[in-house]
Amino acid sequence: MVVNVASTEPPAAGDALPPSSLYAAAALRAGCPYVNFTPSTGLHHPALRSATESSGLPYAGRDGKTGQTLLRSVPGPMFTQRTCGSAPGPGPTSSAAATAPPSPTPPPRPRRTPARNASWPTPSARRPRARCTSTLEKYGYDEVEFAGYTQGSAGPITLARLRRLARDHGLTPIGSHVGYYSDDPNAYTFAQNLTKVLDDAQALGLKHIGTASGPFRYGSTVDAWKRAAEEFNTYGAAARARGMKFYQHNHSDEFSFATDDPKVRLYDVLLAETDPDLVFLEMDIFWAYAGQFRFSKRPDGGSAPFEPLDYVLRQPHRYPLFHVKDGVSDPSNQFGYRMVDVGDGDIDYQRFISAVTRLRGERMAHHWQTEHDQPAESFTFARRSSAYLHSLREKC
């Protein structure tokens, strides 16, 4: 627990975080409950509102008192929050139990879990964004990741309207997928229109901006991937200059082997040649295990096993985002799995998520986003997947 007992600071002015808010933000990132014994701003700064509400951590206080007043103003609300549950944010985190007065207790606040655009349809979908945002809110989601900024035949929509829709329904836009490159010089990709891509990401208030394109622009040799990695470093530096993180989302082919050196896994080249402070990864867990199925043997037949989770555990800070999608094991399928709704498959998400969130300092550092590439019905998938992740909350 972090308790602020420092001298009272002057009222906050402007957008800059005062010292008390910086310490409060550090407490959130470390997964620590926070108590403010001073009138200082602390967690009450507007810039921290969303992170505070979605953290799932107990927090209370705006001035320290003594005796009975103290019990009412700080520990009382804190224990109430811990008992009846607050609004956890990134990941299926849980609120710790605590002894509290047995009655009366207010009804639990809705627990939320992150979303991805599986139930926020892609540009080809026909559902208007307004319906999507309200439905996601109803199912307990609090984050969305974009894969395009349009709404198909529902009509045009501006970035400002898109951001406002998300905000009005308690959804934080957390990232977006944009193409890596194109032969069209006017294409909306990182390679062709980096400035425009970053301008739009800033307009939406994104903290992450990335691509689901594999680094195959120059081929599948080691040098080809080194060249692509250098471009990723460039995009990462440009994103960082604007306060964002650039990331790459994998499919299964990233775990294949270099054509000029079949003992080298291409994903390892990407990790080694990109700057860990500039280029981050969004692991699509389904596709990572599909890669395990496809590429646990080298082209010469030699054994080359790997565990996707190990990549994360070795460098957890490089994986701020995850796509949670599920699959039923099916060796007759070319990918080793048939994609199903989250919770209906054989991928052990309790094991995977627990291993990541229990790392010291990592509980609040990751965002778990449900996804299905071709759901039978998007809203049904969103509802069922949210329910499953909520069921894991007390186990991870």
What per-residue confidence (pLDDT) applies to 100? 27
Task: Please give the average per-residue pLDDT across 7-22, as a whole number.
Answer: 68
On the question of pLDDT at 146 being above 80, the answer is yes
DSSP 382: H
Does residue 349 surpass a pLDDT of 60? Answer: yes
Position with higher pLDDT, 233 vs 361 = 233
Model confidence at 130, pLDDT cuts 50, 70, 90, reads confident
- Both structure tokens of 284: 């699509």
pLDDT at residue 52, as a whole number: 66
**DSSP element (H, E) containing 282:** strand 279-284
Q: Is 185 buried (19+), middle (13-18) or exposed (0-12) by CB count in 10 A? A: exposed
Q: Average pLDDT for residues 147-170, to the nearest whole number? A: 88
Instruction: Return the top range by mean pLDDT from 46-50, 97-101, 279-283.
Output: 279-283
Tell me, what amino acid is at 252?
S
Average the pLDDT over each of 95-109, 158-172, 222-236, 268-282 and give the range with the smallest value: 95-109
Q: Which of 54-63, 167-176, 263-272, 288-297 has the lowest mean pLDDT?
A: 54-63
Which two structure tokens, joined as six digits, stand for 122? 């892609």
Question: Looking at residue 49, what is its pLDDT?
Answer: 62
DSSP for 317-346 reads GG--EEEE-EEEE-TTSTTSEEEE-TTSSS
Cα torsion through 260, 264, 267, 273, rounded to 10: -80
Q: Report d(CA 89, CA 368) in Å as an integer.
A: 9
DSSP reduced 3-state for 211: strand
pLDDT (average), residues 266-276: 98
Query: What are the tokens at 240?
Result: 């960082």
Burial label for 347, CB within 10 Å (0-12, 13-18, 19+), is buried
Rounded Cα gap, residues 292 and 111, in angstroms:
33
What pLDDT shows up at residue 328? 98
More confident position, 119 or 291:
291
User: What average pLDDT does the structure give for the chain?
Assistant: 81
> What is residue 55's predicted lDDT score, i.e. its pLDDT?
65
CA distance 40 to 82: 23
pLDDT score of 1: 83
Q: How much is the pLDDT for 47?
A: 72
At 247-266, the pLDDT tens digits run: 999 999 999 999 999 999 99
Q: Distance between CA 336 and CA 286 in Å, rounded?
A: 10
The band of 46, judged by pLDDT with boundaries at 50, 70 and 90, is low
pLDDT score of 133 more than 50: yes
- More confident site: 310 or 20: 310
**Cβ neighbours, 10 Å, residue 348:** 12
Q: What is the percent of the chain where pLDDT is above 90? A: 56
On the question of pLDDT at 85 being above 70, the answer is: no
Give pLDDT, residue 12: 53
Which sequence spans correspond to the domains of the chain?
2-84, 129-392
Identity of the highest mean pLDDT range in 98-112, 152-166, 307-321: 307-321
129-392, CATH topology level: TIM Barrel (3.20.20)
Residues 341-361: what's their mean pLDDT? 93
